[in-house]
A and B are shown apart, each in its own frame.
Chain A
Amino acid sequence: MIAPRHGLMLLAPLALVLTGFFLLPVLMMLPTSFREYAPGTGIAPGVWTLENYTRIVTDDYYREVIWRTLGLGLFVTLACLLLGYPLAFLIARGPERWRVPLILLVIFPMMLNLVVRSFGWIALLSNRGLVNNLLIQLGLIATPLKLMFNLTGLMIGLTHIYLPFMVLMLVAAIRNVPRDVEAAAGTLGSSRLHVFAAVTLPLSAPGILAGSILVFVLTISALVTPRMLGGPTYKVMATLIYDEYMQLLDWPSGSALSFALTAMAIGVIWLSSRLTKRWAGMA
């Protein structure tokens, strides 16, 4: 055993760095979110207000952005689940020698620079992009389809980016389903489809939930892809925060939005951990 004194010495450097460069900066944003914005100068001196928060729920534009962000999170999560499950199933249950190559093909895009991947989608989806060119060349359409700067573009791009996370979580979950239990259901007369629906799917539910939460939280927090594929006008919360800080210099409003986004992310994680605990209690 090592003494508490030594433990403290080992832990202290990281604790100091995280306090100084993470906790303190985030906490210092809290007073800013209750200040009033003065155009030109930034923060109006001496005035305290709740308006930055009330505006988030009352202002139509902010509400639209928040609903869009949450909707995007939901759609991307569902899309990742639908696309990810068959692939995860093949990796977990398919031929042994396919496993590592398939996993590497999933990890590779995940490790790849986010900006590069988003750039790839721009090259595909823009008005003069590959998809539109191809469709026009084939004579299927006359004018380019609008695939970017809207929900479609963000959906495609974000699904592509967070799909690997979902697949890896699902692979772990499916591999954890005991084969004996499936075999037992089989011997009791279940068809393969019924075994899947009655045993495999419910038993991999914790992994499905964990993967979904991860993808949802990452999606609502994303800045780079929404900015690159959504452009300066089609905004989500993260890009709105970016603009408040960088374009409008409205730090009070930006910090209030930041806390709102953080609360949404942590709230979802908290809810899911409650749910997981309840499931664990049932098992």
Chain B
Amino acid sequence: MTSASDSDDRPGSAVTMAALAVIVFLQIPVIVVVLAAFSTTSYLTIPPRGLTLAWFGKVLSDPSYLSAIRMSLILACGSTAISLVLGVAAAYALFRKALPGSEAITSVLMAPLVLPAVVIGVALLQYYSLTGLRGSLFGLLMAHVVITVPYIVRSALASLSGLDLAVEEAARVLGANGFEAFRLVTLPLILPGLVAGALFAFITSLDNVPVTIFLISANQTTLPVLIFSSVEMGIDPSVAAVSTLLIAATGIILLIAERRFGFHRFV
């Protein structure tokens, strides 16, 4: 903070204007989708010709949307939970340097982030077709674990690296066994970072199309895949309405995470 308060160092007004314009650019599609959801016309106008909640009613009474929402939530909750258990355990082993070659292991665990998602999708499509897992919930769940677990491992490793190893040793000497020391001391200390990682994992699962679309069965789809395919059929304001619901949910989750844990520090 040597000279951060020197007004002389501040970005100039041209930079500020450009930056704010970019911020607006980032929010434009969001605003448009929300406006479309409340519009009485089936195409968009500015200002909207009239306001209605009809599209929300249509979405919330449409069984295909409801079952897709349910499916998405099951997958997101399930895969985040499984990834948390598997990812935290693995990150902890890597952090304590229990095994040689931890750097190589880490890069293998991160590999699903590097590979294009569509490649993972088609690889699993072929694999599931051969093993009979295609269309099964278990297969989908495992696919989502693969794409979400790197976020958990990354955030767990980052949180653990800021930890004083002596704190856990202190717990051990005071009479805690290995698991108690982890549960009572290490886990509470890395929790904020883990929540951020879990949130990323949850959103990643909820967001996913390029893997999911290859693996779903004809009668059981997820919300983003359903929106994706309805857009191919043609635009309908109910798509905007369901999108608006997603926007609202994302915004609320983000604000709560920021309030509780200072989420922006973990991004």
Contact = CB atoms under 8 A, between A and B. Distances in A.
Given A179-B3, A241-B118, A265-B114, A24 B127 contact: yes
Nearest to B143: A21
Contact of B32 (A130, A164, A179, A266): A130
B92 A119 contact: no
B87 A14 contact: yes
Interface in A20-39: 20-22, 24-26, 28-29, 32
A262 B123 CA distance: 12
A208 B235 CA distance: 38
Nearest to B14: A86
B44 A130 contact: yes
A10 interface: yes
Contacts of A141: none
Dominant SS among interface residues on chain B: helix
Contacts of B109: 14, 18
Contacts of A259: 119
B194 interface: no
B47 to A, nearest CB: 11
A160 interface: yes
Interface string B12-53: 000110111011011111101100100000011110000000
A114 B224 CA distance: 8
A84 B105 contact: no
Interface residues of A, number: 94
A117 interface: yes
B119 A10 contact: no
Contacts, number: 287
Contacts of A217: 114
Interface string B226-249: 011001100100011001001100
A107 B114 CA distance: 21
A228 B23 contact: no
Contacts of A6: 93, 98, 178
Chain B interface residue bracket vs A: 35 or more
A119 to B, nearest CB: 6
A194 B209 CA distance: 46
B207 A29 contact: no
B264 A107 contact: yes
Interface string A237-280: 01001100110000100110011011001100100000000000
A96 B5 CA distance: 9
A10 B90 contact: yes
B240 A119 contact: yes
A112 B250 contact: yes
Nearest to B204: A111
Contact of A120 (B28, B232, B250, B253): B28
B115 interface: yes
A10 B92 contact: yes
B10 interface: yes
A180 B28 CA distance: 38
